[in-house]
Amino acid sequence: MTARREWVVLGTITAAWLGLLLGFALLTPAFGAPDEPAHVDAAFRLALGLGWPHGGEMHYLAAIRQIVEHPVPAVDRPTVDALLAAVPGDSPAIDPMSQNPPTYWLVAAGILRLIRFGAHDWATSVLVLRLFDVVLVTALPVLVWATVRRVTRSPRTALVAPLLLFAVPQLAQVAAGVTSWAPMILLGAVLVWLSVRVLTGDRSWWTTAGLAVAVTGLAAISALGLLAVPFVVLVFALARDERDERDERDERDRDRDRDQRTARPWRRAALHAGVVVVAAAAVSGWWWVRTLLVSGTLLPDALRGVTTVQPYPSGGANPGAFAGRQWDGLTASFFGDFGANQWPLPPMVVDALAIVGLVALGWSYARRGAGRRVMTIALVWPVLVVVATLAYNWRNYLGTHQGNGLQGRFLFVAVVALVLSQAVAWRALVVRPELRRRLARIAAVGSFAIALYGIGIAYRGAWENVQFRVTPGGLSAMAGGSLAGPLPIALAGALFLAAAVAAAVFVWRAAAVPSTTAAVPSTTTTPVTGLPLESPPTHEPTVRKENS
C-alpha cells in the first residue's frame, strides 16, 4: 500500500469519526449526555466569576436547574442574561464537579466569555462547548493508527485498528457532550502513543516533552490522571534501546565494556522519567496536596453528604453482587448506554463484544507475535484505571451501600491501549492471509453498523419515546428541541454515512490486494519512521549501517 493511499484511507476514516461525533453533538438533547448539567453549571459559574468551592460545597445555579428540569422549545429559549435575572442565586442541589481541579472548566469559561454568552440563548453556550470537545477528540483515529503502525509495522493493521472506535459508540456520545472527559481522552491517547514510541526505541527529548504535557494535563484535570505518573515511570524503566540490544548480542565479544553499557541507559531513562514527574508535580501537585489536607483523600465524594445510605440486603455487603453490578455497569457504559445512561445497547451485544475482546486478548498470549511485549506494557494503563475505578466504587459501596458501576467512560482515557491490544491479539491469532482479509472486512462493516445502531438508539430514546421508528412527530420534536435544528443534523449524518461507506470500500479493496511487505522479525525493536522496508524475511536480526 502506497503512502498516499494510506493517508487517503485514514483521512476517510477520520471524516467518518468526525461525522459520528457531530451527529451525537447535534442530535443529543441539551443536558442529555452523562453529567452534562454538572459540567455546564461548573463552566457557567466560573464564567460568572463565582469561584470554585471545596468538594461538596458547590451548588447548582438555580437557572441551570430550571432549564434542566423544565426544558422549552427552541423558540422560547431566553438569553443567559435574561435567564439569570429571572432565576437568580443557587439551588439546593450539589454540583459534584468541584471535587476535581477547575482546569477544564476554566478553559470552558474562557470560551463562554469569548463568545459573550450572556447575550445569546443558553443553548448556544451548550452547543459551542460541545463543538469544542468534538474538536479535541477528532484526531483520535490518527493517534490509534500511529500507535498500531509503530508496534505492528503493518499499514493494513494500522488502518483497520481505528475502525474499532466505531464499535464503541458510547465513546463518541460522551466525547461529543460537554465533559471534562474530552481532553482526558485526547491526553490519554497521546500518552499511549508517545509511550509506545519510547518502548520501541524513541529517546528524543521531543517525545519526553510530549509525555510531560500529556501527564501534566491528565493530572491537572482529574485524580484519575495521577495514575499516568507511575505508568510513565514504568514505561521508561522497561523501554529498550535498539543500540542497547545490539550491544547485548555482541556482549560476549566485549565483556570489558559491560558495566558502562548497562549503567548509561538507566541513567538516561531515569532522567527522562524525572522530567515528566517533576513537570506534573510542579503544575498540579499543589492542588492534590491541598485536597488531601482539606478532605483527607485525593478524591472526596462530593455527593456523600446528600446520598441516602440504604440498608444492606440480608447478609451484609455482598462482594459477588458488587462484582456482577460492576461487570454489567462498566461494560454497558463503555460500549453503549446512551443519553444520561438510560438507553443501552442490548445486553447481548455488550456482553458479546466484551467477552470476545477479552478471550481474544487472553488467547493471543499462547501465540508468539511481534508487539506482544509492548502491548503488555501498554495494557498496564487500562489495568490501573480499572483497579482504581473498582476501588473507588467499592469505597462508595461500603459507605452508601449502593454499588454504582456506570463509570465505563473512565476507560476511555486508555482506549488507544485497548485498541492496540486487540490489533496485536488478532494479528497473532489470525495468520492466514485469507482469514486476515475476511477479518478486516468484518471489522469495517461490523464497526460502522454498531455505530449506526448506537446513534439510532440515541435518536429513538430522545425523540421517538424509545420506539424503534422514524415518524413525522419524532422529526418535528427533534427540529424544535435540538440545539441546532434539523439541517446541521442532516449534514452531520450525511458526512458520517458517506465517509463510512467510502472507508468500508477502501478497506474492502485493500484487503483483496496481496501484501508484498514482509513482517519485521519480532526480535528487533527498530523504530519505524516511514513505510516498512520492502525486503524478504530473514532469520537474523536486521542491523542498519550507520554513517559515521
Percent of the chain at pLDDT > 90 equals 67
The answer to whether 144 and 419 have CB atoms below 8 angstroms apart is yes
Q: Rounded to 5 degrees, what are φ and ψ at 91?
A: -100, 170
* Better pLDDT: 82 or 54: 82
Percent of the chain at pLDDT > 70 equals 87
Reported pTM: 0.89
d(CA 145, CA 147): 5
Give the pLDDT confidence score for residue 520 in this predicted structure: 39
Over residues 356-392, the pLDDT tens digits come to 999 999 999 988 777 899 999 999 999 999 999 999 8
Over residues 400-438, the pLDDT tens digits come to 767 677 788 999 999 999 999 999 999 999 989 899 999
Give the pLDDT confidence score for residue 255 in this predicted structure: 46
d(CA 220, CA 288): 9
* Better pLDDT: 368 or 61: 61
Q: Write the Ramachandran bin of 243: left for phi over 0, alpha for psi from -120 to 50, otherwise beta.
A: alpha
Enumerate the β-bridge partners of residue 60.
none
Residues 6+ apart with CB under 8 A from 220: 101, 103, 283, 284, 287
Q: What's the sign of the alpha-carbon dihedral 251, 255, 257, 259?
A: positive
Residue 446 cell numbers, joined: 461490523
Enumerate the β-bridge partners of residue 226.
none
DSSP string, 36-104: HHHHHHHHHHHHTT---PPTT-PEEEHHHHHHHHS---GGGPPBHHHHHHHS-SEEEEE-GGGGS-SHH
* Mean pLDDT on 324-348: 91
141: pLDDT strictly greater than 80:
yes
Give the pLDDT confidence score for residue 429 in this predicted structure: 93
Q: Write the Ramachandran bin of 143: left for phi over 0, alpha for psi from -120 to 50, otherwise beta.
A: alpha
Determine the residue type at 58. Answer: M
Element (H, E) at 343: strand 343-344
d(CA 481, CA 250): 70
Residues 6+ apart with CB under 8 A from 397: 317, 322, 403, 404
* Mean pLDDT on 477-486: 90
**Which pairs count as long-range contacts for 340-345, CB under 8 Å and 24+ apart, including other chains?**
340/31, 340/32, 340/33, 340/34, 340/35, 340/36, 341/34, 341/406, 342/461, 343/457, 343/458, 343/460, 343/461, 343/466, 344/457, 345/169, 345/453, 345/454, 345/457
d(CA 3, CA 275): 35
Which alpha helices (H) appear in 470-542, and where do they start and end?
A: 472-481, 486-512
Q: Rounded to 5 degrees, what are φ and ψ at 94?
A: -90, 130
End-to-end CA distance of the chain: 33
At 337 the three-state DSSP class reads strand
Over residues 69-99, the pLDDT tens digits come to 988 888 889 999 999 999 999 999 999 999 8
d(CA 369, CA 523): 10
Element (H, E) at 344: strand 343-344
Kindly report the number of other CB atoms within 10 A of residue 53's CB atom.
13
Give the pLDDT confidence score for residue 535 in this predicted structure: 35
Residue 136: name the closest of 194, 103, 189, 182 by CA.
Answer: 182
DSSP string, 364-433: HTTS--TTHHHHHHHTHHHHHHHHHHHHHHHHHHHHHS------GGGGGGGHHHHHHHHHHHHHHH--SH
Q: Write the Ramachandran bin of 380: left for phi over 0, alpha for psi from -120 to 50, otherwise beta.
A: alpha
Over residues 213-267, the pLDDT tens digits come to 999 999 999 999 999 999 999 999 998 754 444 444 444 444 444 444 444 578 8
Give the pLDDT confidence score for residue 335 in this predicted structure: 95
**Which pairs count as long-range contacts for 489-492, CB under 8 Å and 24+ apart, including other chains?**
489/23, 489/26, 489/27, 492/19, 492/22, 492/23, 492/25, 492/26, 492/27
Enumerate the β-bridge partners of residue 90.
61
d(CA 370, CA 40): 45
Give the pLDDT confidence score for residue 20 in this predicted structure: 97
